[in-house]
């Protein structure tokens, strides 16, 4: 209809016909365009001794590609992917087909998973020692996990309010480890800007081979495989931006939302519109999962609910490793009404203007 009448006219006309009950509108899902990835593997059908005799015959017949391929399979003593064979010995498809037709080699299709995380080079890490404030926060979250595991109560929600560098991520990691001990799994949401390889590697190092990732930068094939692996329970932890809250994670026991005030948790540009934090709170209630909201600068609504007692408030006011060379920035609040009374009609306070001039005079840069 859009091709016939144009997109806008078609939509308007259909909506009018539906309202008049002259037309019934129905929806159907598009077929899945992604399929499981399959790789061809080759393996010997004969013993190594028989293969060596056959290799001699192939050399005598000048069937060099077939001989090299067969020799490589003997050396590997395992099934090998066709891609590896091609790269290592320069074998051709014709050579492989010839060996298969003679019954010397079998050719199998094996399904492989497209893994967006390369665990090669990622060393496993151990839990870090905690500060008193971290220990107190972790024990509170552990208590919530135990209460949730026992059932019968509404799952707890925690606001982990800690300054930058207070070690909130370590609390997430150790709380997730406790969740796994209880036979449950977790989802970790991070702002899109924070979903860096370093962030993913930190979780992957603590849970080697048990971290799934979902985000829009994955290929369709990777998204397809990750979704099915999550649904089948292969991962203890799923990490991603706001859309990861819809991951089909079974036995959900803990949901972590890092930097919960971030505007990127709101899906506002297209339907369905939602706020991942609100979805997480409802999902936690339905699944019996504890929710941890972490931030150095909590959202006003979240802060209000914590102060009112709807959420447990966990405070971590100090850095894990205080550094005299990089102290927390000092914050100065200026009442612009007083500036106006003093005759300053600039949008900048006198203190801010002086600080800007001082920075520029010292060859520094300024961000407003």
Query: Are residues 84 and 181 located together in one domain of the fold?
Result: no
pLDDT at position 247 is 96
Paired strand residues for 177 = none
Query: Are residues 140 and 105 located together in one domain of the fold?
Result: no
323-364 residue pLDDT tens: 555 666 788 999 999 999 999 999 999 999 999 999 999 999
Query: Are residues 161 and 310 located together in one domain of the fold?
Result: yes
Whether residue 308 has a cis bond before it, omega within 30° of 0: no
Query: Are residues 171 and 59 located together in one domain of the fold?
Result: no
pLDDT: which is higher, 344 or 321: 344
On the question of pLDDT at 200 being above 60, the answer is yes
- Please say which residue of 289, 316, 343 terminates a domain: 316
Helical packing angle, 93-101 and 64-76, nearest 10°: 80
pLDDT at position 236 is 97
What's the number of domains the chain is made of? Answer: 4
- Asked if residue 256 is part of any domain, the answer here is yes
Query: Are residues 86 and 153 located together in one domain of the fold?
Result: no
231-259 residue pLDDT tens: 999 999 999 999 999 999 999 999 999 99
Domain that holds residue 20: 1-30
- Sheet of strand 185-189: strand arrangement: 211-213, 237-240, 185-189, 252-258, 290-295, 157-162, 312-316
Question: How far is residue 293's CA from residue 277's CA, in Å, rounded to a whole number?
Answer: 8
Provide mean pLDDT across the span 89-93: 83
Query: Are residues 190 and 89 located together in one domain of the fold?
Result: no
Query: Are residues 171 and 250 located together in one domain of the fold?
Result: yes
- Asked if residue 118 is part of any domain, the answer here is no
What's the Cα-to-Cα distance from 71 to each of 97, 107, 127, rounded to whole Å?
16, 16, 47
Question: How far is residue 259's CA from residue 154's CA, in Å, rounded to a whole number?
Answer: 24
Query: Are residues 271 and 307 located together in one domain of the fold?
Result: yes
112-144 residue pLDDT tens: 888 888 766 678 889 999 999 999 999 999 999
- Asked if residue 325 is part of any domain, the answer here is no
Q: What is the pTM of this model?
A: 0.75
- Which stretch of 156-165, 223-232, 317-326 has the lowest confidence by average pLDDT? 317-326
């Amino acid at each position: 209809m859009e091709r016939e009448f144009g997109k806008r006219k078609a939509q308007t006309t259909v909506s009018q016909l539906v309202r008049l009950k002259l037309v019934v509108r129905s929806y159907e899902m598009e077929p899945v365009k992604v399929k499981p990835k399959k790789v061809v593997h080759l393996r010997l059908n004969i013993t190594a001794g028989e293969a060596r005799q056959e290799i001699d015959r192939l050399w005598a017949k000048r069937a060099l590609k077939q001989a090299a391929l067969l020799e490589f399979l003997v050396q590997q003593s395992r099934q090998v992917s066709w891609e590896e064979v091609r790269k290592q010995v320069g074998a051709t498809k014709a050579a492989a087909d010839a060996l298969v037709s003679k019954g010397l080699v079998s050719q199998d299709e094996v399904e492989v998973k497209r893994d967006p995380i390369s665990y090669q080079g990622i060393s496993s890490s151990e839990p870090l020692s905690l500060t008193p404030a971290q220990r107190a926060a972790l024990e509170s979250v552990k208590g919530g996990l135990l209460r949730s595991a026992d059932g019968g109560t509404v799952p707890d929600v925690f606001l982990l309010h800690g300054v930058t560098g207070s070690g909130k991520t370590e609390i997430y990691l150790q709380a997730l480890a406790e969740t796994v001990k209880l036979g449950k799994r977790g989802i970790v949401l991070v702002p899109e800007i924070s979903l860096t390889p370093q962030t993913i590697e930190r979780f992957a190092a603590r849970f080697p081979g048990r971290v799934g990732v979902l985000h829009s930068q994955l290929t369709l094939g990777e998204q397809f495989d990750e979704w099915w692996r999550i649904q089948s329970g292969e991962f203890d932890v799923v990490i991603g931006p706001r859309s990861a809250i819809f991951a089909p994670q079974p036995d959900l026991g803990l949901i972590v939302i890092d930097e919960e005030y971030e505007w990127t948790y709101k899906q506002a540009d297209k339907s369905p519109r939602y706020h991942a934090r609100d979805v997480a709170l409802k999902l936690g209630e339905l699944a019996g999962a504890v929710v941890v909201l972490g931030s150095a600068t909590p959202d006003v609504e979240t802060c209000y609910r914590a102060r009112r007692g709807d959420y447990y408030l966990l405070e971590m006011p100090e850095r894990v490793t205080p550094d005299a060379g990089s102290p927390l920035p000092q914050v100065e609040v200026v009442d612009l009404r007083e500036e106006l009374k003093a005759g300053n009609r600039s949008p900048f306070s006198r203190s801010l203007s002086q600080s800007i001039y001082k920075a520029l005079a010292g060859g520094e840069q300024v961000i407003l």
